[in-house]
Structure 1
Amino acid sequence: MEDSLKLLVVVHHFPPDHISGAEWQAYRIARGLRQRGDEAHVICVQSDARGPAGQLGYTDGLYDGIPVRRLYFNLPLAPDPFRWSFRNPLVERQILSYLEDFQPNVLHLISGYLMSGTVISASRSLGVPVVLMPMDFWFLCPRVTLLRRDGSVCDAPEDLVECALCLAQDRRRYRLTARLTGGASNRLLRRLWRSPAVLRGMGKADLLAALEERRRYLRGMFRAPDLVISNSRFLREMLTTHGLHNPRFRQLRQGIDTERWVGDSEKEPSPYLRVGYIGQIARHKGVDLLVRAFRRLRAQGPPPRLLLYGNAEQFPAFTRRLHRLIDGDRRITFAGTFPNERILEIHSGLDVLVVPSVWYENSPNVILEAFAAGTPVIASDRGGLAELVQHGVNGLLFRMGDAGDLAVQLQRVVDQPALLESLRKGIRPVKTVQEEIAEWLQIYHSVTQGVEHGWSAVN
């Protein structure tokens, strides 16, 4: 029998206050290890805008039996907030102290966002093996998402002038000038800021220097872990293409915790098509795109319905925009939130799920959960979504950001009822969380023993 493990999971947030993909990944791993008798602790950030300057506080507690340390510090009051965002000495000291007390066999860092690269350097300095799991673009992009402020996708994260211009849009004067000039001011700045003399004259030389420092430092931190794991081929290729290299960079698809689900997957009969969305009610998730596409649908029989599951109060300005787009259309309903245990019940009332994201998703749980519940998916054709959804097999794909093409795919489902049944039959079994935990155990034991994995992808 393998020796028991002591694992420290480090992640930017953790349930119950935050329940996105990275948080659930951390929870699944910690809970799975503790269920088999291993020790697993979690460190997360409760707030990066709380407390006096230069100090880090924390609270210790339990979540579902998992020991969790929740940090708080005030990044805006740091001597250099931008540099501290990727190289935080307060976090480094906290991780060093916790490692010395807990003495884990492995540290598992998820994302790096809010925690900074010092988690890796602290662990390496004490000889604790590190598994890094990027689940977003934080190592490439200070905004994490590769989304510009105007919602467009950045395809050139290695261009530091573009990064500087993107960050400058946080200031109202740059946004207002760009709006008044139809973007001409940004085009001019894009040329001017490539001159060191102009940068110095405009006071932007240090921003470019800090961006270069960020890139150099995080590339070094990315090379340091004993193993780097990505949920999707897309994220692995994207990070590697843009200069983040580690010879021990592998892929492992996450599992779904179906044991906690209640009910069954039998679809409730309905005279009309039921289209669903589950997730954040947010711009980068493309919910407005879905509303525009849905409102174009026409049906010979009973009109289709759209159910929007998510917290409509999280981004109130965006929700107001959605209400204007909906314009009283009674076919569209804000259905609120629900606990994960009710997934089967929710999907029993859906015929198809739409994932209309306008940014590069990695490996969304919402798609795997839909497949586990027997629901076909219509998704954007970029990023990790296109790995999971096979057009015409287990779902349909549409051009990312194109409401017209999404409407075409939805209309196909309206006009061809037999298509849905065909897509359901194309859904393959989804990995369970128990299978995923078995793979993580293999990984943790291998890095503690200095064994190199031979596999390149586990799906």
Structure 2
Amino acid sequence: MKTIQAVARYFPENCGGIQTHLSELLPELEALGVESKVVAAQEKPEADTYSYQGVEIYRYPAFPVPKPEPLHGGSGHGGFEYFAQWLKQQKAEIYHQHQWEPKCGLAHLRLAKELGMGTVVSIRLPHPICQRNTLMFEGKTACDGKLDLMRCSQCAGVPKNLPSTMIQALSQVPISVSEKAKGKLGFLALPAYIAERQKGLVEMAKYADRIVAMSQWVYDAIAINGIPEEKLFLLKHGISESLVKTTVSQPRKADGILRIGFLGRWSPTKGIHVLVEAIKCLPTDAPVELIIHGVPQDEPYRQRLMDRIGNDSRIRVANQLKRDDISAALSNYDVLAVPSQWLETGPMVVIEAHANGLPVVGSDLGGVAEKVTHGVDGLLVHPSDPKSWAEAFALLAKDSSLLDKLRQGIKPPRTISMEAADSVTLYQRILAEKSVKTAYQMASSL
């Protein structure tokens, strides 16, 4: 079986979790008889072809860099013809798109479908559904994902006193016109954006043989918008077997200090500020230490937190970790803190922590809540309440037996080979359906 795996960017340039996970998945697919090529955009005016970790990579230009927009590339972008020409030359049976944005979006999926390939789109982020890009209703509570013009417009910033008739009328304005409304009255463009998101989800379902939900909340959010469940496939992440330890992590060190680790981006959505405030809520003699391994992203945010941390000896900002160093770092913690402030399908670090026998204190939200069982292999707390986090840390610092119980409650994690096997099952199912459809069409034409 031959497949095309499509992403918005790829190695060796700086990449995120989607590309990292894909690079780890490809060898597993190959071991199961699936040949893959990666196609990815690049912000250059020309195309490139090269090999990375034994996989052929084709980089098509997305130049000039397209602006973000709700249909996620419905009209193509500068350089799209390079992608089109390359894809037409491939003899692939499956086209699997792992992102949904202008550089890798609707136009790319539509072409693959028109070329007769089996088509798959994986959804890992709230962006295809949520104008706020977080799926947090008014930034405070988890949303069910139902696209509703009135509710979504007001959540995104339209004044609540704006009449529904006005919102409905604004939703009919073309995006090109709405763009001109930005500025002091930028909210006037929001209804049109939300209407386009609704349209984009319908178009995705039209051209994708399957929409892969990488978490249960994604599955539910897509289904609640009327997408047929036969179009959906739940495919949860797995972790490389090389990262799975066969022994439980070591008990707390003799000094009695609860060591709390954090791995993630310097971004408000990752919630480092909540952890900092939680430590500040605790008595100065509380036996806790927070170790932050941050990945650069939002420098003003990082600087504000550095100022807030000051000379507090209980909070240590450590170096950014390389991929190969994560397992060793996790072995030095007693718990991993995952204070996500938005709905995530992962984060993968939760699975990595459990693979290393490390309990997780995480936000009771989205993918974190799906991966952590409260009181069994970790603790779930209110995402944005520092006092709740402080109470959880104080409890673990005081009760070492609870920490031992949580360690013992960790079950073997789902592996990436399991994910690969499920992916192959999905691909085979799509091809079988296409074969039956082709046979039926041929019989009908006789």
TM-score when scaled to structure 2? Answer: 0.83
Q: Does residue 340 in structure 1 map to residue 360 in structure 2? A: no
Cα 1:399–1:209 shift into 2, 3 Å: closer
In structure 2, distance between residues paired with 1:262 and 1:61: 35
Q: Does residue 66 in structure 1 map to residue 66 in structure 2? A: no
Instruction: String of CA shifts for 1:313-341, please: whole Å, max 9, x gaps.
Output: 42110011111221221221111222222
- Of 295, 307, 311, the residue aligned with 2:291 is 307
Instruction: String of CA shifts for 1:345-401, please: whole Å, max 9, x gaps.
Output: 111100000100110111221000000000000111111211111110000010121
> Residue 398 of structure 2 aligns with which residue?
415
In structure 2, distance between residues paired with 1:290 and 1:31: 37
Give the residue type in structure 2 aligned to 1:88. Answer: S
- Of 18, 22, 25, the residue aligned with 1:26 is 22
Q: Identity of aligned pairs, percent?
A: 25
> Residue 295 of structure 1 aligns with which residue?
280
Instruction: String of CA shifts for 1:138-168, please: whole Å, max 9, x gaps.
Output: 32135543369x955673662446656777x
Give the residue type in structure 2 aligned to 1:103. Answer: K
Instruction: String of CA shifts for 1:281-326, please: whole Å, max 9, x gaps.
Output: 210111101110122224867x311111122x42110011111221
Unaligned runs of 5+ in 2: 182-187, 436-446
Cα 1:360–1:206 shift into 2, 3 Å: closer
In structure 2, distance between residues paired with 1:142 and 1:70: 29
Q: Does residue 435 in structure 1 map to residue 418 in structure 2? A: yes
In structure 1, distance between residues paired with 2:272 and 2:146: 25
In structure 2, distance between residues paired with 1:366 and 1:236: 21
RMSD of aligned residue pairs (Cα, Å)? 3.3
Alpha-carbon offset, residue 435 of structure 1: 2.3
Cα 1:25–1:245 shift into 2, 3 Å: farther
Helix, strand or coil: the match of 2:281? Answer: coil
In structure 2, distance between residues paired with 1:381 and 1:432: 23
- Count of equivalent residues: 420
Cα 1:38–1:324 shift into 2, 3 Å: same
Judge conservation of contact 2:243–2:355 (CA < 8 Å) in 1.
no
Cα 1:246–1:330 shift into 2, 3 Å: same
Q: Does residue 273 in structure 1 map to residue 253 in structure 2? A: no
Q: Does residue 379 in structure 1 map to residue 375 in structure 2? A: no
Alpha-carbon offset, residue 193 of structure 1: 4.5
Cα 1:386–1:123 shift into 2, 3 Å: same
Give the residue type in structure 1 aligned to 2:210. Answer: L
Helix, strand or coil: the match of 1:137? Answer: coil
Unaligned runs of 5+ in 1: 52-56, 170-184, 453-459
In structure 1, distance between residues paired with 2:311 and 2:285: 21
1:55-204 → structure 2 map (5 Å cutoff) = 57-74=46-63, 82=69, 85-90=72-77, 93-114=81-102, 115-142=104-131, 144-146=133-135, 152=140, 155=143, 158-160=147-149, 186-188=159-161, 193-194=166-167, 196=169
Judge conservation of contact 1:262–1:342 (CA < 8 Å) in 2.
no
Give the residue type in structure 2 aligned to 1:112. Answer: W
Cα 1:76–1:340 shift into 2, 3 Å: closer
- Of 200, 210, 214, the residue aligned with 1:227 is 210
Helix, strand or coil: the match of 2:220? Answer: helix
Q: Which moved more, 1:326-335 or 1:85-94?
A: 85-94
Judge conservation of contact 2:154–2:160 (CA < 8 Å) in 1.
no
> Residue 182 of structure 1 aligns with which residue?
none
Cα 1:283–1:145 shift into 2, 3 Å: same
Alpha-carbon offset, residue 268 of structure 1: 7.4
Instruction: String of CA shifts for 1:234-278, please: whole Å, max 9, x gaps.
Output: 111122223444423121221101326899875375221110011
> Residue 259 of structure 1 aligns with which residue?
242
> Residue 199 of structure 2 aligns with which residue?
216
Q: Does residue 43 in structure 1 map to residue 39 in structure 2? A: yes
Cα 1:93–1:163 shift into 2, 3 Å: farther
Give the residue type in structure 1 aligned to 2:135. Answer: L
Cα 1:398–1:269 shift into 2, 3 Å: closer
In structure 2, distance between residues paired with 1:424 and 1:399: 22
> Residue 343 of structure 2 aligns with which residue?
360
Alpha-carbon offset, residue 99 of structure 1: 2.5
